[in-house]
């Protein structure tokens, strides 16, 4: 049976670790803060005396710490006690080059690294519905998969080491650009006397029905669709509707003196982004 270790028991790491408490083979935990360790131990986990001890006792180790420097420090500490065959899954979101760097250092000790960032936040961590985005070789992924499937309802093997991180960064680009666009919409709504809480309810309700930005993300390429492609018709409709509504929203924003630079950029970039020809009078 596989023994699992977990390092980093913060706001997302702790609920993730709790999903592994009944994992066959047991759970071993470590954190620099004693309180979450004590909580997990009281719930049935074992306490490691340090990173090297945790590595010695485990077959798969999950790492969920704050940033690249902490990830490097943790992996370095794990390697001090690791036996060949250990699989280390890094759930932190790191720089694109960090997974390859970690994998190269670990390979010298016969340890395999997966970059496995997660999407879904603390709520998804608590109820086990995270998306786990994995980069690494097939053998390491197969070894860690039963553990990862306890953490999330979607586990995607994106490719070799680094692919999970690249997938997470693409996903988060959309996430935070959308947040920025939401702030424009809120300012516009507020300036026109609307209830911002009601706007938020409407956005969450309709995105749950349509899929939000993901509604246009079904193609396997960003190349322009052929004229007879089903998606050419769909995207043409999206563009016509989007450009109309964006113009109306920008006109309203101008009337009430609200700056909406993302909306203006979207008006220029929606059609080309969908792979459609530039409309007459539209900037390239």
Tens digit of each residue's pLDDT (9 = 90 or more) over 84-110 = 999 999 999 999 999 999 999 999 999
Please name which of 117, 55, 120 lies closest in space to residue 88, comparing C-alpha atoms: 55
Q: Measured between alpha carbons, how far is 71 from 79 in angstroms, rounded to an integer?
A: 12
97, with CB counted inside 10 A (0-12, 13-18, 19+), is exposed
β-bridge partners, 118: 132
Q: What is the pLDDT of residues 208-231, one digit of tens each?
A: 999 999 999 999 999 999 999 999
Domains of the chain with CATH codes: 4-161 (3.40.50.720), 167-273 (1.10.1040.10)
pLDDT at 237 over 80: yes
Dihedrals phi, psi of 111, to nearest 5 degrees: -100, 140
Percentage of the chain modeled with pLDDT above 90: 97
Q: What is the pLDDT of residues 162-172, one digit of tens each?
A: 999 999 999 99
> Cα dihedral angle (61, 64, 67, 71), rounded to 10 degrees?
-10
> With left for phi above 0 and alpha for psi between -120 and 50, is residue 42 left, alpha or beta?
alpha
Dmax over CA atoms of the chain, in Å, equals 67
And the tokens for 154?
């979607």
- Residues recognised as catalytic: 168
pLDDT at 52 over 80: yes
Please name which of 99, 47, 41, 93 lies closest in space to residue 75, comparing C-alpha atoms: 99
Residue 277: pLDDT band by 50, 70, 90 thresholds? Answer: confident
């Amino acid at each position: 049976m596989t023994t699992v270790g977990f390092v980093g028991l913060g706001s997302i790491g702790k609920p993730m670790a709790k999903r592994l408490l009944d994992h066959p083979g047991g759970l071993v935990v470590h954190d620099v803060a004693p309180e979450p360790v004590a909580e997990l131990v009281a719930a049935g986990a074992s306490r490691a005396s340090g990173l090297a001890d945790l590595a010695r006792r485990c077959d798969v180790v999950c790492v969920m710490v704050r940033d690249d420097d902490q990830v490097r420090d943790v992996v370095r500490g794990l390697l001090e006690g690791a036996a060949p065959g250990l699989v280390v899954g890094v759930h932190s979101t790191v720089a694109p080059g960090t997974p390859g760097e970690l994998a190269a250092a670990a390979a010298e000790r016969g340890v395999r690294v997966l970059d496995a960032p997660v999407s879904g936040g603390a709520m998804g961590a608590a109820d086990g519905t995270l998306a786990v985005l994995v980069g690494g070789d097939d053998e390491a992924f197969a070894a860690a998969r039963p553990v990862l499937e306890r953490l999330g309802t979607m586990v995607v093997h994106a490719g070799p080491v680094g692919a999970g991180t690249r997938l997470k960064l693409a996903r988060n680009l959309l996430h935070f650009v959308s947040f920025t666009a939401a702030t424009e919409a809120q300012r516009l709504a507020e300036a026109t006397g609307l209830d911002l809480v009601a706007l938020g309810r409407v956005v969450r309700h309709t995105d749950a029905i349509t899929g939000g930005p993901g509604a246009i993300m079904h193609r396997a390429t960003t190349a322009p669709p052929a004229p007879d492609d089903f998606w050419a018709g769909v995207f043409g409709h999206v563009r016509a509707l989007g450009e109309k509504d964006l113009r109306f929203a920008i006109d309203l924003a101008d009337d009430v003196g609200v700056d909406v630079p993302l909306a203006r950029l979207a008006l220029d970039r929606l059609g080309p982004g969908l792979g459609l020809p530039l409309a007459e009078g539209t900037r390239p």
